Amino acid sequence: LSVSQTPSAAPSLAAAPRAAGEVPGTPPLVTIRFDRPGVEYERSLYTALSQALELRPGAEFTVLAVSPAGGTAANVQLAQSQSRENAERVFRSMSDMGLPPDRVQLSATTSAGVSSNEVRIYVR
């Protein structure tokens, strides 16, 4: 699967070495791997958000665009751009699901530990 779930006015997308809401050692609520075209993530995302909001009704979320850090400068830049677009699409999906936009923060980073673009959602 390309989506993994760990139990438990649009903002701007800002680059960050460690995203706000990303706590070392704390797994993301959801990781969506955009490793192929047409990744379907909405159902898993909806389930994860519903469970998180059931436990913490006032929860806020960080949507983190993660792109591979390896390759040429042009490849890294292209991956960053695609990863940001993916994160913005996930943000729109969350808004369409009824989550107020002011409870979602978008951030972006690169990682040598990923081989394809990912979007990680953290509860904050």
Global pTM?
Answer: 0.81
Question: Residue 80: pLDDT above 60?
Answer: yes
The pair of three-digit structure tokens given for residue 102, joined into one six-digit string: 């002011």
C-alpha 46/C-alpha 121 separation (Å) is: 12
Q: How confident is the model at residue 11 (pLDDT cuts 50, 70, 90)?
A: very low
Percent of the chain with pLDDT over 70: 80
Q: How confident is the model at residue 23 (pLDDT cuts 50, 70, 90)?
A: low
